[in-house]
Chains A and B, each alone.
Chain A
Amino acid sequence: MSVEAFVPADFTACALGADEVAAAVAVAPGVEVRRTGSRGLYWLEPLVEVATDAGRIGFGPLDAASASALFGDGPPDAGHPRCLGLVEELPWLKAQSRLTMARVGVIEPLSVAQYKAHGGFQGLDRARALTSAAIVETVTEAGLRGRGGAAFPTGIKWRTVLEAEGDPKYIVCNADEGDSGTFADRMIMESDPFSLIEGMLIAGLAVGADCGYIYCRAEYPLAIDTLAAAIRLAEGAGYLNDFRLELRKGAGAYICGEETSLLESLEGKRGVIRYRPPLPAIKGLFGQPTVVNNVISLASVPAILARGSDHYRSFGVGRSTGTLTVQLAGNVRRGGLFEVPFGKPLRWVVEDLGGGTASGRPIKAVQAGGPLGAYIPPRHFDTALDYESFQAIDAMIGHGGLVVFDEAADLGALARYAFEFCAEESCGKCTPCRIGAVRGVEVVDRIRRGEAAADNRVLLRDLCRTMIDGSLCGLGGMAPLPVLSVMAHFADEL
Chain B
Amino acid sequence: MRDDAIVEAARGIVERLGALEGALLPILHAVQDEFGYLPPACVPVIAKGLNLSRAEVQGVISFYPLFRAKPPGRRVVAICRAEACQAMGGAALEAHAKSALGIGFGETSADGEVTLEPVYCLGNCACPPSVTVDGVLHARVDAQRFDELIGR
Contacts and interface: CB of A to CB of B under 8 A. Distances in A.
A331 interface: yes
Contact of A182 (B85, B125, B135, B137): B125
Contact of B120 (A249, A254, A358, A367): A254
A347 B64 CA distance: 39
Nearest to B88: A331
B139 A330 contact: no
B82 A180 contact: yes
Given A253-B64, A266-B22, A330-B88, A336 B121 contact: no
B24 interface: yes
24 contacts: A11-B122, A11-B123, A11-B124, A12-B124, A12-B127, A15-B130, A177-B121, A179-B121, A181-B83, A181-B125, A219-B121, A248-B22, A248-B25, A250-B64, A251-B64, A253-B65, A266-B25, A269-B56, A286-B21, A329-B84, A330-B86, A330-B128, A371-B82, A409-B86
Nearest to A265: B25
Nearest to A267: B22
Contact of A15 (B24, B28, B84, B138): B138
Nearest to B124: A12
A188 B124 CA distance: 14
Given A327-B125, A403-B125, A421-B120, A180 B25 contact: no
Contacts of A265: 25
- Size range of the chain B interface in the assembly: 35 or more
B25 A330 contact: no
Given A15-B137, A331-B88, A371 B126 contact: no
A435 interface: no
Contacts of A329: 84, 87, 125-126, 128
Interface in A12-61: 12, 14-16, 42-43, 45
A244 to B, nearest CB: 10
Interface of A is mostly: mixed
Contacts, number: 153
B125 A335 contact: yes
A335 B127 contact: yes
The listed residue with most B CB atoms (<10 A of its CB), out of A16, A179, A330, A421, is A330
A272 B59 CA distance: 11
A401 B128 CA distance: 14
A414 B83 contact: yes
Interface of B is mostly: loop
Given A219-B121, A403-B84, A252 B127 contact: no
A327 B22 CA distance: 33
A271 interface: yes
A417 B126 contact: no
Contacts of A183: 123-126
Contact of A401 (B22, B125, B130, B137): B125
Interface in B99-152: 119-128, 130, 135, 137-140
A417 B86 contact: yes
A425 interface: yes
Contact of A180 (B26, B67, B83, B91): B83
A277 interface: no
Nearest to B23: A268
* 5 tightest Cβ-Cβ pairs between the two chains A and B: A335-B126, A268-B24, A330-B87, A180-B82, A329-B125
Given A12-B127, A180-B82, A267-B22, A403 B87 contact: yes
B43 to A, nearest CB: 14
A425 B84 contact: no
Interface in A174-203: 177-183, 186
Contacts of A335: 125-127
A327 B125 CA distance: 9
Interface in B58-98: 59-60, 63-67, 82-88, 91
Contact of A252 (B50, B65, B83, B139): B65
Nearest to A184: B123
Nearest to B130: A15
Contacts of A286: 21-22
B123 A186 contact: yes
A486 B84 CA distance: 17
B48 interface: no
B54 interface: no
Given A267-B22, A271-B64, A358-B88, A417 B127 contact: no
